[in-house]
Amino acid sequence: MNQNRYLIHSGAALLDALARLNSLSGGPMTLFVTDEAGRVTGSLTDGDVRRALLAGMPLDCPVDRAARRDFSYISTDHPDVELLRECRRKGLRLLPELRPDGTLSRIVNLDRTTNLLPLSAVLMAGGKGERLRPLTLNTPKPLLQIEGKAIIDYNIEALAAVGIDRITVTTRYLAEQLDRHFSAPVAGVQVHTVREEQPLGTIGAVSLIDLPDDGDTLVMNSDILTTISFEDLYIRHRESGADVTIAAIPYQVSVPFAILSTEGERVTGLQEKPTYAYFANAGIYIFRNSILRSISRDTPTDAPDLIARVIDEGGHVGYFPVNGTWLDVGTPADFAQAAELMRHHKNFSRR
C-alpha cells in the first residue's frame, strides 16, 4: 500500500481533500490528517467534507476544521484484537497504527488484513507424505498443487490475513524445494525455513526456532486445508488463560451392533447401534512460548507427549471446536476431495 495516498496535511484546503478523495475512488475513501510533526490528528471522508460545506465552510478552509478527532486507531505498543474486530463490524476499511508519539507506523487495510493477532506461527512440513505416493516421490506434500496453488500457501495466506507475519516452516524431506519456494514472499510475508537434520518428532523441530521468551505461537501441520477462524481461536486461548489450546474437530463413531451395559456378570441394558461423539485433534495449536522453548533439541518430541507433559505438570490445556472446513490431505482420496472442494469454492466465489 502507498500510504502517502491516504495522508493529507492539516493545512490543506477542503478542495484539495475532495480531489484526493476522488483519486481514491474504487477503494477505501478515507484520508488521515497529519500535523507539522507528522502526528495523525484526525480522519476525513467525503461525508465529512460534505457536512463541512453544508455547515458553511468555504472550499479554501483547512481540512483540520472538518476532520474527525474521535477517529479509531490502534497502537504499535499493544494491538487491540477486539478493537480491530469492532472496526470491521462498523464497516471501517482503513485503520491507522500509531506509535506512542502519535506518528504513523502503517495503515491497515481491513479488506485484506482482518486483524493483527500477536502470534508467531510455525508450520510443520518435514514429513515424507508416504501415504500420498507416488505424488510425493519428487515433491514434498506441502508443495502439491490444488487448483494451481501449493497446499501450504493456502495456510500462509490465511495466517497473513489475520496479521501473522512471523512465520517459520520446518523442513526435512526434499527441503531444498521448500527453501526455493519460500525464497520469495507469499501473501506479502517473507516466510523463513528451518531444516531438521535428524527426525525430531511431530513438534520437536520447533526447538530449532528462536522464539521470544514471552507471548504465544500457533503451531500447525502444513498439509491441512481449513477455514478455521484463527482470530476466534486466539481469543479463546487468551480469554481462557490456557497454556495450550488445541483446535478440535467433532468426530463420531457409529457402532453397527447392539452394545451391552454390564455389571459383573449381569447385563443391565442394551443400546442398539449407538453413536458416540468425540473431539479429535485437528493438528492446530496455540502454545505459550515458554512451553515450546522447553523442547529438547536432542530428543524427538511428539505434540501429544508435549501436551500430556503440560497436563501432568498442572498446566491449563483447553480446546477450540473447529466450525467450518477441515481436511487432512493425507491420502490420494483426501487429495482428490481437497481438489474438488477448492474447485467448488472457486466457482462459488465467482458468482
CB-CB contact of 11 with 3 (8 Å): no
pLDDT confidence of 222, banded at 50, 70, 90? very high
pLDDT over 50 (residue 349)? no
Average pLDDT along the chain: 91
Q: What distance in Å separates the CA atoms of residue 49 and residue 41, rounded to the nearest whole number?
A: 16
pLDDT over 60 (residue 189)? yes
Instruction: Spell out the domain ranges in the chain.
Output: 3-109, 119-350
pLDDT confidence of 335, banded at 50, 70, 90? confident
Say whether 350 sits in a helix, a strand or coil: helix
* Per CATH, domain 3-109 is 3.40.190.10: no
DSSP one-letter code for 284: E
Residue 140's pLDDT is 93
pLDDT in tens, 104-149: 999 999 988 999 999 999 999 988 888 888 878 899 999 999 888 9
pLDDT in tens, 74-116: 998 887 899 999 999 999 999 999 999 999 999 999 988 999 9
The CATH fold of domain 119-350: Spore Coat Polysaccharide Biosynthesis Protein SpsA; Chain A (3.90.550)
* Percent of all residues in the chain with a pLDDT value above 70, rounded to a whole number: 98
- For residue 203 the three cell numbers come to 513438534
Residue type, position 55, single letter: A
pLDDT over 70 (residue 347)? no
pLDDT confidence of 289, banded at 50, 70, 90? very high
> SS3 letters for 289-304?
HHHHCCCCCCCCCCHH
Q: What distance in Å separates the CA atoms of residue 346 and residue 351, rounded to the nearest whole number?
A: 9
pLDDT in tens, 26-66: 889 999 999 999 999 999 999 999 999 999 999 999 999 99
pLDDT over 70 (residue 350)? no
